[in-house]
Structure 1
Amino acid sequence: MTCACCAPSRDVRPPDADLVPAVTPLASLGMSERPVFVRGGKTHVGTNSPMLAQDGEGPERAIVLADYSLEALTVTNARFADFVAATGYVTEAERFGWSAVFFNTPERLDAARRAGAGLSWWHRVEGATWNMPEGPGSDIEARMDHPVVQVSWADANAFATWVGGRLPNEAEWEHAARGGAHRQRFPWGDAEPTDETVFCNIWQGNFPTYNSEADGFLRTAPAMSFAPNALGLYNMAGNVWEWTRDPYRIRSNSRRAKARNEQALLHQEKVLKGGSFLCHISYCYRYRIAARMALSPDSATSNTGFRIAYDGHQN
């Protein structure tokens, strides 16, 4: 297990799993869950004012997008449970037998530091899966409307295939988060969240030892929480990182960037967007629209989920 910024990556692959084909109609979704139409056209991805240049946030690049749709919510535990029940799908975390879980109790932090852990708040937990996100003894009964977590890139793609959709690419995700071809730092505009001013589910307090929970949540929040952006999309900042379909690359000719790209290619890393409930400006200022993170596609953590995109307009 190697460590990325906000989540650890795996280093190995589990056995393959078979997927039983099935499709759930969009009509089964509630109005608040249905895909939001996003007009394409000339837009941009990235920023000319990167806060974490080493992540490849810049430079801004002009692009042209086709029209597409993006679900207003990240995929919830309830929907993923329906998928598993209908197909018998077994997630990669289940096949590995363990996954990464965030713990910040003093006892666990001290034990991890003594063991020489790179990020002492991440722990390998045997039996941690999408329906037991913190390991055996935990469950999702009171979190069915929360985003599903402990899902890998392959798991997200399997669900997307089942509903007839796909993962968005990075440019589509950014364009939708901004509400169009605008330049703004966050989905709600440029106002900076603080430990007292809450716009989304991120960390408030001293990371990783104290979270005041000013936003009301220690871990994930319901997928429909806080005010949506201009297009009606919820939680495009914070809550959970969201897988995209794109490979992680840094557009730079520097020696450091080339070395990072070689590592990303070796591990087949993918881009994630949006930040998570663990982000804080003092540690991981990655809940900005242009921010990004990389994980190996077989990684699954307690702060990683996804949402579904579709080509064109979905009725």
Structure 2
Amino acid sequence: MVRIEGGTFTMGSEDFYPEEAPRRQVRVDSFWIDEVPVTNREFARFVEATGHVTFAEIAPDPKDYPDMLPGMDKPGSLVFRKTSGPVDMGNPGNWWHFEFGADWRHPLGPGADIEELGLWDHPVVQVAYGDAQAYAKWAGKELPTEAEFEYAARGGLDDAAYAWGDELAPDGAMMANYWQGLFPFANTMADGWERTSPVRSFPPNGYGLYDMIANTWEWTCDWWSQNPGAGSLAKKSKGSCCTIANPRGGKLKESFDPAQPKIKIGRKVLKGGSHLCAANYCQRYRPAARHPEAIDSSTTHIGFRCVVRGG
């Protein structure tokens, strides 16, 4: 792990997506954070030691999903499949497919496991929020807050667009694993990878942390709030009129997806972007970027890392 000294930074952005605003001054206390995302190798040790069964390995209960189609009550998870050409970008179902038998051991489906695919040193994926939380507890750690993650991801470059400065690819250099080309059908693979990459494949940030940007989204412990500044502005540092101290996201009931009123499943904040973020679709390969994800979701592009606070 790497120790991050507490400090004040500019959180958020007003240059990309509305849910990242407002830009605000935030202070976080010192903490330790994993140098890299939890890998398949590390997650396997956890499963061997505890017998943990991940969310994707358990058949969904129809009582929890009143609109579930017949025959879908089998274990599985979401797998990204590149399309053959341009598609309706407003319908993620064009590239996300629920695959029976997909789980952390078989991230692309039952056809091949992490051993056959050579993924031991890649970030573990196909893990729901509860799986990440269980691993963190076993390891004597916790999941980061959104503010802790963003502070660490910036690597000391306060208010820069990217974790390495204000240019996405300085002098043509690929600084992270994201999608080059037209998503979701044409990836030039200028960074060398079509899907996830092994940890430490790209330069560390200013704090010596790897893969804080792209490769995989990462779970945080904060409930989603569409306007993160509104709830946290009331938590200002004692004696300060403009600095928020250690903000902690929104509330469970306010995090539900309004597009699915029958399903009361909370959504947590994801940070960092993934290998599927592209200039034409999802420019979220940035520290300020954030995304809501239901805690019962597992996919081929979501992983996590842990923190230890204080010390």
TM-score, with length taken from structure 2:
0.80
Provide the residue aligned with 2:4 in structure 1. 38
Could you tell me which amino acid in structure 1 is paired with residue 140 of structure 2?
G
Q: Distance in 2 between matches of 1:182 and 1:83?
A: 35
Instruction: Kindly provide the CA deviation profile for residues 218-244 of structure 1, in whole angstroms up to 9, marking residues without a partner as x.
Output: 100001111000000001111000000
User: What does 1:160-179 correspond to in 2, within 5 Å?
Assistant: 160-179=136-155
Instruction: Kindly provide the CA deviation profile for residues 164-189 of structure 1, in whole angstroms up to 9, marking residues without a partner as x.
Output: 00000010001111123711111111
Q: Distance in 2 between matches of 1:64 and 1:187?
A: 18
Is 1:136–2:114 an aligned residue pair? Answer: no
CA contact (8 A) 2:220 2:270 kept: yes
For residue 214 of structure 2, the aligned residue among 238, 247, 268 is 238
User: What does 1:177-256 correspond to in 2, within 5 Å?
Assistant: 177-180=153-156, 182-193=158-169, 197-251=173-227
Provide the residue aligned with 2:297 in structure 1. 299
CA contact (8 A) 1:43 1:175 kept: yes
Tell me: CA distance 1:138–1:263, structure 2 relative to 1, closer, same or farther (3 Å). Answer: same
Is 1:91–2:54 an aligned residue pair? Answer: yes
How far residue 263 of structure 1 moved from its aligned partner, in angstroms, is: 3.6
Provide the residue aligned with 1:159 in structure 2. 135
Instruction: Kindly provide the CA deviation profile for residues 103-131 of structure 1, in whole angstroms up to 9, marking residues without a partner as x.
Output: 11439x98xx8xx9643010010000000
Provide the residue aligned with 2:68 in structure 1. none
For residue 104 of structure 1, the aligned residue among 70, 74, 82 is 82
How far residue 64 of structure 1 moved from its aligned partner, in angstroms, is: 2.2
How far residue 143 of structure 1 moved from its aligned partner, in angstroms, is: 0.8
The percentage of counterpart residues that share the same residue type is 45
Q: Distance in 2 between matches of 1:76 and 1:100?
A: 19
Could you tell me which amino acid in structure 2 is paired with residue 101 of structure 1?
V
Q: Distance in 1 between matches of 2:147 and 2:92?
A: 31
How far residue 285 of structure 1 moved from its aligned partner, in angstroms, is: 0.6
CA contact (8 A) 2:83 2:184 kept: no
CA contact (8 A) 1:150 1:304 kept: yes
For residue 51 of structure 1, the aligned residue among 16, 19, 28 is 16
How far residue 46 of structure 1 moved from its aligned partner, in angstroms, is: 1.2
Is 1:62–2:36 an aligned residue pair? Answer: no
Number of aligned residue pairs: give it.
Answer: 265
Could you tell me which amino acid in structure 1 is paired with residue 307 of structure 2?
A
Q: Distance in 1 between matches of 2:133 and 2:154?
A: 24
Could you tell me which amino acid in structure 1 is paired with residue 288 of structure 2?
A
Is 1:119–2:85 an aligned residue pair? Answer: no
Provide the residue aligned with 1:74 in structure 2. 37
Tell me: CA distance 1:272–1:247, structure 2 relative to 1, closer, same or farther (3 Å). Answer: same
Q: Distance in 2 between matches of 1:187 and 1:37?
A: 18
CA contact (8 A) 2:224 2:255 kept: no
Is 1:289–2:287 an aligned residue pair? Answer: yes
Instruction: Kindly provide the CA deviation profile for residues 20-43 of structure 1, in whole angstroms up to 9, marking residues without a partner as x.
Output: xxxxxxxxxxxxxxx110011333
Q: Distance in 2 between matches of 1:214 and 1:181?
A: 25
Secondary structure, aligned partner of 2:205: coil
**Which runs of at least 4 in structure 1 moved beyond 6 Å after TM superposition?**
none
Could you tell me which amino acid in structure 2 is paired with residue 126 of structure 1?
F
Q: Distance in 2 between matches of 1:219 and 1:272?
A: 18
Secondary structure, aligned partner of 1:119: helix
Greater Cα offset, 190-199 or 127-136: 190-199
How far residue 195 of structure 1 moved from its aligned partner, in angstroms, is: 12
Secondary structure, aligned partner of 2:10: strand
How far residue 264 of structure 1 moved from its aligned partner, in angstroms, is: 4.1
How far residue 310 of structure 1 moved from its aligned partner, in angstroms, is: 0.6
CA RMSD of aligned residues (A): 2.3
Could you tell me which amino acid in structure 2 is paired with residue 37 of structure 1?
R
For residue 275 of structure 1, the aligned residue among 273, 276, 279 is 273
Could you tell me which amino acid in structure 2 is paired with residue 243 of structure 1?
W
CA contact (8 A) 1:274 1:292 kept: yes
Q: Distance in 2 between matches of 1:195 and 1:276?
A: 22
CA contact (8 A) 1:248 1:264 kept: no
Tell me: CA distance 1:196–1:124, structure 2 relative to 1, closer, same or farther (3 Å). Answer: farther
